[in-house]
């Protein structure tokens, strides 16, 4: 891979974080493999046109993450293999019934309104007068992978067994305990770097790539029974979709709705 100079970011992400992100990406994608010797500080500084202190700071950050190690006189080496996405991780993200997930509830509020950005596209005469807000972290294999902020219609939440939001995904509980049949699920996915709040909550570095999901579930009347914001660590995220080819070909709105609200 040809190295490009790390841009001077001004008020944006500092250079050492950008350089660390480049090296982290190369490790995660197998371009730098476990046991491989990394360039010296001087070599990497010349390669990416940055100061030596920038390289030392980037290396220091990757050491704290356990991705590299260094010994005086021997050099700096990749110490972690490329991360692999396990079957359990696939299920933890894509299956609402996934059982191999632990939930840490950080906050709950009752009788709140659905925020305007999440209520777009909802039927104007919504029968859901208030929502319960749940903020929680999803953990799989001992590692946090998602921070979720979910609003579920209060009248449906009241039917959930006590404490069930700490045992199951809210979408699963919605299906199990709502009197109304859910008709439509809509998702919008974007990618952005982690801010300090996300980095601390999910145990990753500042500016680590994050997958940001907005999800809404509506009943047969078009009323939003569930809406949520989800932030997934980029190194622990995969979204799976499967459609009959003819359906996707003739109706692309199945995968990419014409109106995302």
Q: Is 6 helix (H, G, I), strand (E, B) or coil?
A: coil
Q: Token pair for residue 46?
A: 């010349």
131 phi, psi to nearest 5 deg: -135, 155
Please indicate, yes or no, whether the overall pTM of this predicted structure exceeds 0.75.
Answer: no
| CATH of segment(s) 15-78 | 1.10.10.10
Cite the residue boundaries of each domain of the chain with CATH code 1.10.10.10: 15-78
Q: Is 191 helix (H, G, I), strand (E, B) or coil?
A: strand
| Helix H or strand E encompassing 146 | strand 143-153
Which residue stretches of the chain have pLDDT < 50?
Answer: 9-12, 259-261
pLDDT tens for each residue of 93-104: 888 998 889 999
d(CA 44, CA 56): 10
Q: At what angle do helices 15-28 and 52-64 cross, to 10 degrees?
A: 50
d(CA 79, CA 97): 35
Q: Token pair for residue 166?
A: 């700490």
Architecture of domain 87-254: 3-Layer(aba) Sandwich (3.40)
Q: Is 29 helix (H, G, I), strand (E, B) or coil?
A: coil
Cite the residue boundaries of each domain of the chain with CATH code 3.40.1410.10: 87-254
pLDDT tens for each residue of 1-28: 556 666 554 444 588 888 988 898 888 7
Neighbours of 223 (CB within 10 A): 17
Any idea what the Cα angle at residue 147 is, between residues 144 and 150, rounded to 5°? 140
């Amino acid at each position: 891979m040809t190295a490009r100079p790390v841009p001077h970011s001004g008020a944006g992400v500092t250079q050492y974080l950008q350089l660390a992100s480049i090296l982290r990406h190369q490790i995660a994608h197998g371009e730098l493999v476990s046991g491989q010797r990394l360039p010296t500080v001087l070599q990497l500084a010349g390669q990416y046109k940055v100061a030596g202190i920038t390289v030392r700071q980037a290396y220091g950050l990757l050491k704290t993450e356990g991705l590299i190690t260094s010994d005086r006189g021997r050099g700096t080496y990749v110490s972690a293999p490329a991360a692999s996405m396990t079957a359990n991780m696939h299920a933890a993200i894509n299956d609402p019934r996934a059982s191999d997930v632990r939930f840490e509830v950080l906050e709950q509020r009752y009788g709140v309104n659905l925020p305007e950005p999440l209520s777009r596209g909802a039927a104007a005469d919504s029968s859901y007068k208030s929502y319960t807000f749940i903020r929680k972290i999803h953990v799989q294999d001992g590692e946090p992978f998602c921070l979720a902020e979910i609003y579920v219609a209060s009248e449906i939440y009241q039917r959930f067994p006590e404490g069930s939001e700490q045992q199951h995904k809210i979408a699963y509980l919605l299906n199990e305990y709502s009197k109304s049949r859910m008709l439509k699920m809509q998702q919008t996915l974007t990618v952005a770097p982690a801010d300090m709040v996300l980095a601390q909550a999910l145990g990753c570095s500042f500016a680590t790539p994050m997958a940001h999901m907005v999800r809404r579930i509506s009943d047969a009347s078009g009323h939003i029974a569930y809406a949520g914001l989800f932030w997934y660590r980029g190194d622990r995220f995969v979204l799976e979709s499967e459609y009959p080819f003819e359906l996707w070909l003739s109706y692309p709105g199945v995968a990419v709705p014409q109106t995302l609200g």
